[in-house]
Structure 1
Amino acid sequence: MDLSRREFLHLSAVNILLSSKRNSTPKVKKPLHNSRNSTKEELGVTKLCIVYNSGEVLLSENEMRVRPPASLVKLMLMYLISMKVEKKEIFPTIAIKPQKTIFPTNNSDFVISAQSEYLLNDLLKAMAVISSNTSAIAVAEALWGSVEKCVEEMNTTAKNLGMKSTRFETVNGYPVRPGFDVDRTTGRDMGIIAVECCKSPTILQWTSTKEFVIPGTNIVRKNTNDLLFEFYGCDGLKTGFTRSAGHCLIATAKRANKRIISVVMGAKTSRERFTIAKNLLEIGFADG
């Protein structure tokens, strides 16, 4: 059974989303509900509406259901890189020399050639705009030495942020084979990383980019987040889809001084995720 707004807002776990300091490490005092006792009614779409400014959770459904995040995984990778950029450990203008040629797994992605060099900023925009899986692998290998080392840091960071139900196995959320997703998380945990990402002007710059030109070509690709074009104030964050995960979307928008975050996981269609996310954002802006 879903929690009422009054009951939900008094739970101590909401404190995780209240932090406004980038380097804070939120602690989980208790889960929002016991996912082991999930009923058939709870096996639907995960929905979460968060007021970023205060951490208030206005609506939640199935937020503790463990499920694959698909390309929402890339938010953690972008978060780690943004931390390095903002600490000036690396710069977005550095050249990335791929360790090997990386071939795309779908028609919307592009080949990362071992014979070429790519600006880090371009690869990050490719991840944010067209959800490039090849770019995620190239960046992880270049900055961490291997995908495995990058995943290790992703999991350490998730633990430090209080994402207790999250386990990353990939840097891009792509299944090891069709229908077999290995990454696991919850809507609640995705809400935590979404809040952290919204603290970063660097990430919002990547995720608000509406078009991306494939390197070495004149091919222009539109951002997979339709709400950038449909919802006033939207500037992120990330779409995702696999057969197991369904259609996922973490969206955020800012109007005046108020920012709202919506989390949608497991929608049946692409259009449904945008409709749900739009409704959640509207709820957020209408409140107060």
Structure 2
Amino acid sequence: MKSFSKISVIFTLLVAFVVSQFSVAAPAKAASADPLSLKAEAAMLLDAKTGKILYEKNADKVLGVASMSKMMTEYIVMESIKEGKITWDDKVNINEYVHNLSKGDGLSNIGLTQGEDYTVKELYEAMAIFSGNAATVALAEKIAGSEKNFVTMMNKKAKELGMTKYKFVNASGLNNSDLGGNIAAGGPNDENVMSARDIATLAYRLLNDYPDVLDYSKQPKLKFRDGKVYPNFNWMLPGLIFQYEGVDGLKTGSTDFAGYCFTATAERDGQRFISVVMKSPSKNERFTDTRKVLDYAFANFGKEQVLKANYKPKGKEIEVEKGKEKHVALTTKKPVELVVQKGTAKEYKPVIVIDKKKLNEDGKLVAPIKKGEKLGYVTVQSKNDPYGFLTKDGQKEVQVDLVAAEDVEKSNWFVLSMKAVGGFFADVWDSVSSMVKGWF
């Protein structure tokens, strides 16, 4: 019995030790998961020009997006204007449904009079500045004939933009239960959902494809035709309660399901960032979270030259066939610049990619070759960079052409003939040598 008692004690102590190890390790892992200690459930930060991801938290978790959905409506409106399908001055007549929606209790809206005409620009301003839900539906109907058709367009466009975890059920981002029975898609209590990565992708494409969106999102207030002044819900704009230097967009959102969300963009000294926070616990906290993300961005990241111009990769000459020279050296004309964490530029190493279409079956170039002819490209990578780029197009922003450093002329017919003869006898000699060795 005593030996059994000893074994029991030892087993108990062993279990206690193992449990203690796990209880100590768990908080450490949780702390390292989010160095910014955000209250938001998901978040992302990126360089606005290249889509270089600089920070993320639960970036692929699918959450409600509320009125941040309107960025997709903004994109499609801008695209429709660019393609000549509509103009800013086109008139939109307000029907009974849109009129009733504009009077919805507790919803962000500018009152729209039934039977009255409003311009596309007026409705766009109501949507982009004051997050007008009824104005958004009116624009959707103008472009697609019905909100149902427009929702189909939204989901199709999301796929085209490279988004992967999304579902649009209406144009505004409201819960379907708030739409007075006019459900375009989904169930009676559905809402639009996306991941932080998809929201960042949408914002990135919106800013780069249609930068004029900032002309509207940066307005701290809207004076509408009804004589009233409507505030922007982006309280980080100049003069507002959470003002932050450089902020000029993009879109807030909140519903009971989505919590409080915010996609922001800010520029200082030519450097622009995009930040996303999703499901912050309060209206104020989404701005506090965003401030943390943007502070982190401007304090720790900047554009640096990670590869100089006229870079010549060592040991990367390409063999040339039928040329006066047997090899051609490679070089670059432009430097590679990248937004990286300050002081880490030396960690990025060049990656050489040769255009295989330029090579023959033997992996050689065929003369003649002109100086400056593109033969491939150079990009950079770092083992300490955990995130990469948001899109493949962004990756191309940090690629520079790899070109021939000099001309390589084609050898004249006599030299080529002698080389061919020499090659023939060399092959014959190799065959004879092999045969003779085989005898012994």
TM over 0.5: yes
- Distance (Å, rounded) in 1 between the aligned partners of 2:116 and 2:290: 38
> Which residue in the other structure is 1:66 paired with?
62
> Which residue in the other structure is 2:247 paired with?
234
> Which residue in the other structure is 1:256 paired with?
269
Shift of 1:51: 0.9
- How many residues of Structure 1 are paired with residues of Structure 2 in the alignment? 251
Shift of 1:214: 3.4
Gaps of 5+ in 2: 1-28, 179-187, 303-440
- Structure 1 window deviating more from structure 2 (42-51 vs 249-258): it is 42-51
> Which residue in the other structure is 2:197 paired with?
188
- Distance (Å, rounded) in 2 between the aligned partners of 1:44 and 1:285: 20
Q: Is the 8 A contact 1:103 1:110 kept in 2?
A: no
- Distance (Å, rounded) in 1 between the aligned partners of 2:216 and 2:190: 26
Q: Is the 8 A contact 1:48 1:262 kept in 2?
A: yes
> Which residue in the other structure is 1:11 paired with?
none
- Structure 1 window deviating more from structure 2 (193-202 vs 83-92): it is 83-92
Change (3 A) 1:43 1:227: closer
Q: Which has the higher strand share?
A: 2
Change (3 A) 1:47 1:140: same
Counterpart pick for 2:95 among 92, 99, 124: 99
Change (3 A) 1:43 1:163: farther
- Distance (Å, rounded) in 2 between the aligned partners of 1:94 and 1:163: 30
Instruction: Map Cα deviations across residues 94-134 of structure 1 (whole Å, 9 max, x no partner).
Output: 22112333433236413322321111111111111111100
- Structure 1 window deviating more from structure 2 (100-109 vs 111-120): it is 100-109
Aligned CA RMSD, in angstroms, stands at: 2.3
Residue aligned with 2:165, SS: coil
Structure 1 residues 194-273: aligned runs within 5 Å: 194-199=203-208, 200-215=210-225, 217-229=226-238, 230-273=243-286
Shift of 1:43: 10
Q: Is the 8 A contact 2:89 2:119 kept in 1?
A: yes
> Which residue in the other structure is 2:135 paired with?
135
- Distance (Å, rounded) in 1 between the aligned partners of 2:40 and 2:234: 22
- Distance (Å, rounded) in 2 between the aligned partners of 1:181 and 1:142: 24
Q: Is the 8 A contact 2:86 2:143 kept in 1?
A: no
- Distance (Å, rounded) in 2 between the aligned partners of 1:141 and 1:102: 15
Q: Which amino acid aligns with 2:219?
A: T
Residue aligned with 2:293, SS: helix
Shift of 1:44: 5.5
Instruction: Map Cα deviations across residues 172-224 of structure 1 (whole Å, 9 max, x no partner).
Output: 01002279342111101000001011111221112112211233x22101110
Q: Which amino acid aligns with 2:232?
A: N
- Distance (Å, rounded) in 1 between the aligned partners of 2:202 and 2:247: 17
Q: Is the 8 A contact 2:40 2:286 kept in 1?
A: no
Instruction: Map Cα deviations across residues 56-109 of structure 1 (whole Å, 9 max, x no partner).
Output: 211110111111110011000000111122334322122211233343323641
Q: Which amino acid aligns with 1:46?
A: A
* Rg (Cα) greater in structure: 2
- Distance (Å, rounded) in 1 between the aligned partners of 2:61 and 2:107: 31
Q: Is the 8 A contact 2:40 2:278 kept in 1?
A: no
Q: Is the 8 A contact 1:99 1:142 kept in 2?
A: no
Q: Is the 8 A contact 2:164 2:198 kept in 1?
A: yes
Q: Is the 8 A contact 2:91 2:119 kept in 1?
A: yes
- Distance (Å, rounded) in 2 between the aligned partners of 1:237 and 1:184: 18
- Distance (Å, rounded) in 1 between the aligned partners of 2:100 and 2:224: 15
Q: Which amino acid aligns with 1:160?
A: E
- Structure 1 window deviating more from structure 2 (126-135 vs 93-102): it is 93-102
Gaps of 5+ in 1: 6-41
Higher relative contact order (CA closer than 8 Å, sequence separation 6+)? 1
Q: Is the 8 A contact 1:168 1:183 kept in 2?
A: yes
Residue aligned with 1:79, SS: helix
Give me the TM-score of the superposition, normalised by structure 2: 0.54
Residue aligned with 1:226, SS: coil
Instruction: Give the ranges of 4+ consecutive aligned residues of structure 1 lying more than 6 Å apart after TM superposition.
Output: none
- Distance (Å, rounded) in 1 between the aligned partners of 2:51 and 2:101: 40
Q: Is the 8 A contact 2:40 2:277 kept in 1?
A: no
Q: Is the 8 A contact 2:43 2:59 kept in 1?
A: yes
Structure 1 residues 165-184: aligned runs within 5 Å: 165-177=165-177, 180-184=189-193
Instruction: Map Cα deviations across residues 122-152 of structure 1 (whole Å, 9 max, x no partner).
Output: 1111111111100011111122100011110
- Distance (Å, rounded) in 2 between the aligned partners of 1:117 and 1:201: 28
Q: Which amino acid aligns with 1:141?
A: E
- Distance (Å, rounded) in 2 between the aligned partners of 1:144 and 1:107: 24
Q: Is the 8 A contact 1:43 1:62 kept in 2?
A: no
Give me the TM-score of the superposition, normalised by structure 1: 0.81
- Distance (Å, rounded) in 1 between the aligned partners of 2:134 and 2:276: 25
- Distance (Å, rounded) in 1 between the aligned partners of 2:177 and 2:108: 18
